[in-house]
Structure 1
Amino acid sequence: MTSTRSQELEDLYDAKIDAHFAEIRLLRSQRNADCSKTKNLPPEILSTIFGMLHRDIAQHSYQKWIGVTHVCRTWRNTALDDPSLWSNITVVPSKWIPEAFARSKAAPLDLRQGGYYDAGDKLDFIFDHVAEHPERIKRLHFHGEPAAFINSLTKPAPFLEHVSTTGDVDFPPDFLGGIAPRLKSVSCGGSLPLEATWLANLTRLECQRVHLGAAYLSNLISLELRYNWDALDAAGGVVPHINIDLLLSALQNMPLLQRLSLSLPTNFSDAPSNRSTPIHLHHLRDICVSLPRPKMAFIFNHLRVDSIERLETSWPLYFKDTDMIEPVCRFFNECYHGSNLSYLLQESHALEMHRFVGSTPAHTPVLLFRSFRPTDLAIVVNMLPLCVPRIFATDKELPFKSPFPLADCDTIEELHVISKYSTSTVLEFSDEPSIPYPSLRQLHLERVSFVPKAKRIPPLKRWISKRKSGTKIELLVLKNCGLSDKDIASLQKVVTVVGS
């Protein structure tokens, strides 16, 4: 009897406790609904915000993105009611793929097939579904050589926007039944057919093998031909030697081209062009060319654009003849019509020149030379009269000491010495009679070594203080240099110091 009574009391109290917990949950839900600062936001606004979070967070941590659905009932219902938030299957961990696919409902999908992200059987049901319903595909990524799946896509894909492959895949002419009206972008490790109606609206192409005479190239605004790409003839065979006239003819048939990224293949002929005048691509603004041999720079003798916004060139580091740079510089001088080209950055084996954006410190790269020998810096700058370097930044791993690069340049007002690794760059300012950078007003040092400080700070003070009043260094900016308050106080005697 006593045992039964005790059990009844225990059940009674447990029921009351559960009732209190239920009431607490209800009160919390009501508080979140009535007091939330987002309660008056329409669902479509919340959904837009969630979409931004998804793009920024989900690709790095899907679990963090899922956290927004646990904040309150309103947020959860809003997220669950928007299929587009669950349509990017490429970022979903394999165990959550079935649920994400179910929540995507009928929204167009971003899919990844094969490679590291392949979830095996967990993706099979999705690809079986889209093979029957290709209208569900928005973006499609292939890894490896998924020829079987590509060949299974024989129906129109009205919402497909982008296709990319990493393997050596040749697409069939009747891919997607020849109908993909929204397909604008293709990144292809293999080749595209010479004639394909599903490529009729293509505007961006990145590929390894290309039919330079294909009609669909005429709509391109962006073309990237990868390292050691192949040109294909009408029969699909590889052209053994690509000459300058073949390439120029192809580019001339791309009148809308705005961006060109071109790695000239090793079988590119050094033979001169038979053209009497350069081709004029009126819309081309962004050019990136990799030159495996010096003579290939002559391609710039045959190009003209209305106004260049960004030009990047690179070549093997062992080249020692700066003559190869002349055609590039001549092209840039003729086609660049901007202003404020004054920021000069020299990294290891690279030279970058930037244009300031408005009156702010923000700047954008305009001219870039990759695999560049720093000893040729002055030669290249002299070839570019449009560049007036006012800020010289160097990112070096070796000791930074005399003779300084561009030491005689009388336009440089700021010198930035930045080490890639913590305190790996050692400053050595010698007591030379000549004063480098006669117009220098600011010195910025980041992650440089002042050890032993007793030997390096006094030379730096003398290097700063011995300048005349008209060229006096007004500001020394230190960042992560490990100096003590005493060291900074010592430097404050000759210059205004900012940082530590």
Structure 2
Amino acid sequence: MTQTLSASLDIVPRMESTIIQHCHATHAYVTKDTAAFNKDVAALAGSLRDLRSCKITLSCVSWLPPEILTTIFTYIVEDDAFKSCTGTPRPCGAPISMIITHICRRWRQVALECPTLWAYLNCVSANWLDIMFERSKKAALVVIYRSPGSLRKCFQQILSQLPRIKYLQLCSSSWEVDRILDCLSSQPAPSLQTLKFSVVRKSQTRVIRPISDSIFQGRAPLLRSVELNECTFSWTSCIFSGLRTLDVRRIGSASYPTLTQLLSALRRMPELEQLTLGLSSRFSEDTELSDQVPLARLKRIALDACTLRNAVSLFSSLSFPVDVKIALNLAPIGSCLSDLFLVMHKDPDGSGPIIRSMRASLSYHTFGVQFSTSMTFKSEYFWNPPDDDIILSLQFKCSSSTRKPPVIFDICQMVPHRQIRSLSVTSSLFLRDNFWRAGSADLPALESIQLSGTCNIRSLIAVLQSGGVQSSDMAYPSLHALELESIDFGCGEAEELQDIVIIRAGHGLGIHELRLVKCRNLVDDKVQLLKEVVPAVDWDGHEESLVGGDGSGGGCLCHNCRDESSSGEDYMQALLHSDWDYDPDSDAYSEE
């Protein structure tokens, strides 16, 4: 069949040797052609690299002198070290200084000639540490390991460089604490300025030994800042004398100090500027020191998870400047609150910062109140705030006797040098008339109210329109600015607010500024009514209706819609989070 087909097509069959020779010739040609192609590709790649290098050379960045590039690189590395919160190495495992060297030849040269750039060890894996140590030369090291996983395989390698470390932040698992403390005790730390050490404990029954005098072989002359979490030091130790910052939180029961031990430790720190302590357990009964511990340079003091009695005991034993910033996170408070303010402000009639604004945060379980020297709060923090304008921050759990929101105005009356003009309230509770009436009585010079998060403003509206014939009899006679954020406007409340503005204007108490942010059940027509009577209305244009799709008004919490609601679920949910269960005849809370 093959022969017939070949004959019909006039094909002459080739010999086997001829076919083999043809294949060899074809392979040689292809091989030669591929080699030439690869050579051309390599030449093109080289040209592309040259063009890239030329482009970088011609770019403005390449005109910068090495000193400027070094400053930029150092800023990048510092920012990565101190702002990173992951606590784990990068997927590629390379530190950011190594990545910089792969941008271009000039950047690599500048980076390699800057030892400081290689001195930041931010969760660097063990594979890169020797290179970092070599390239950093004799530069002081900054070591940051925020998780036990990143530290586990390399802490011995890192702590072998202890004499070079100036900043040390470690996070360890509880079963490795002893080994790490042994490494920290193996050498002196002549360059160390900051120590941050935290322990992750899966079992609270495991006892963590306190840091003893043997740490750093007793030699850390430059140490000025110590922060410990789930780990503490021996309160009779002298190694931490001369500190300017001390932050010890979550002190284990085995290492909890007596009041005498704590005060003795603070007495050895006359340069202390910032003090943060977690004092959740009550001080043991011991003999208190006869004279107060002077902390003349103290700027901030914060007590975390502290009992009221511990706070009173500590403040009564300390002497510090009148302008110290105080942040307290307390257990439920009771009748001893006045004692606390008495020992915090030992000379209330003397000089001190003027309090101009007040901020309150009210929820079912926690109340918070802050006092600031400025008219607006720069920080969103409600405990241990970093801003200098917040002079006092107080947060406490709610007991049965402190669930009444007007208690924040009782606190206000205890603060000296108050000239409060601005009040900011964030609340998930239903604030009733008595809250706003108490505020009007205690803050007669109030000029501005910011309210957010609460379900309604009906009680505020009712208080604003109350009063006698004379303007001085009306609530908040100095009020001229009102800011409402995330407020659920009930049916007709926008119109009622308009009427109030008109009434108050007739008494010479006009509201000149109104700001509306993310308010619900508020549409353009209602805002236009307010613009007719308020000179400056700032509305973000947010429109969201609370009325149910069936027209029943199930989402609205005003009285009319609530009565028409078939299920009443929204109302009941709000009721559960209100302060309506407060019993004015209940016994005062006692720590006993």
Q: Normalising TM by the smaller chain, what interval?
A: 0.7 to 0.9
* 2:167 counterpart of 1:139: yes
The TM-score with structure 1 as length reference comes to 0.77
Match of 1:155?
A: 187
The TM-score with structure 2 as length reference comes to 0.66
* 2:481 counterpart of 1:481: no
Match of 2:553?
A: none
Cα distance in 2, alignment partners of residues 334 and 250 from structure 1: 31
* 2:328 counterpart of 1:313: yes
* 2:419 counterpart of 1:416: no
Which of 216, 219, 231 is equivalent to 1:179?
A: 219
Of residues 220-229 and 57-66 in structure 1, the stretch that sits farther from structure 2 once superposed is 57-66
Match of 1:371?
A: 396
Cα distance in 1, alignment partners of residues 148 and 262 from structure 2: 36
Match of 1:390?
A: 421
Cα RMSD, aligned residues only: 4.0
Deviation of 1:208 (Å): 3.0
Which of 105, 117, 121 is equivalent to 2:149?
A: 117
Deviation of 1:29 (Å): 1.1
Relative to its length, the structure with more strand (as a share) is 1
Distance 1:33 1:485, change over 3 A: farther
- Higher radius of gyration, 1 or 2: 2
Identity of aligned residues (%): 23
Distance 1:78 1:164, change over 3 A: same
What CA deviation, in whole Å up to 9, does each residue of 1:277-309 have, x standing for no partner? 655432223222454144852543444334323
Match of 1:354?
A: 372
Distance 1:223 1:102, change over 3 A: closer
Match of 1:300?
A: 315
* 2:69 counterpart of 1:46: yes
Which of 530, 547, 570 is equivalent to 1:491?
A: 530
Deviation of 1:268 (Å): 2.0
What CA deviation, in whole Å up to 9, does each residue of 1:3-58 have, x standing for no partner? 64565455445533432332232122112112x22223222322222222223235
SS in 2 for 1:389: strand
Q: Which runs of 5+ in 1 are unaligned?
A: 191-206, 233-237
Distance 1:499 1:15, change over 3 A: farther
Match of 1:196?
A: none
User: Match of 2:497, as an amino acid?
Assistant: L
Which of 465, 470, 475 is equivalent to 1:436?
A: 475
Number of residue equivalences: 462
Bigger relative contact order (CA 8 A; separation at least 6): 2
SS in 1 for 2:492: helix
Cα distance in 2, alignment partners of residues 322 and 149 from structure 1: 42
Answer whether contact 1:325 1:380 (CA < 8 A) is retained. Answer: no
Match of 1:22?
A: 46
Answer whether contact 1:294 1:324 (CA < 8 A) is retained. Answer: no
What CA deviation, in whole Å up to 9, does each residue of 1:254-292 have, x standing for no partner? 4333333344463425789674x6554322232224541
Cα distance in 2, alignment partners of residues 363 and 473 from structure 1: 31
Cα distance in 2, alignment partners of residues 246 and 333 from structure 1: 29
Cα distance in 1, alignment partners of residues 480 and 211 from structure 2: 59
Distance 1:218 1:68, change over 3 A: closer
Answer whether contact 1:300 1:331 (CA < 8 A) is retained. Answer: no
Deviation of 1:2 (Å): 6.0
SS in 1 for 2:331: coil
Answer whether contact 1:248 1:279 (CA < 8 A) is retained. Answer: yes
Deviation of 1:310 (Å): 0.6
Deviation of 1:222 (Å): 3.1
Cα distance in 2, alignment partners of residues 142 and 318 from structure 1: 34
Answer whether contact 1:392 1:412 (CA < 8 A) is retained. Answer: yes
* 2:496 counterpart of 1:459: yes
Distance 1:139 1:84, change over 3 A: same
Of residues 388-397 and 488-497 in structure 1, the stretch that sits farther from structure 2 once superposed is 488-497
Cα distance in 2, alignment partners of residues 335 and 280 from structure 1: 18
Match of 1:222?
A: 245
SS in 1 for 2:372: strand
Q: Which runs of 5+ in 2 are unaligned?
A: 1-24, 200-207, 380-386, 467-473, 541-592
Distance 1:346 1:106, change over 3 A: same
Match of 2:353?
A: 338
Deviation of 1:65 (Å): 4.8
Distance 1:174 1:314, change over 3 A: closer
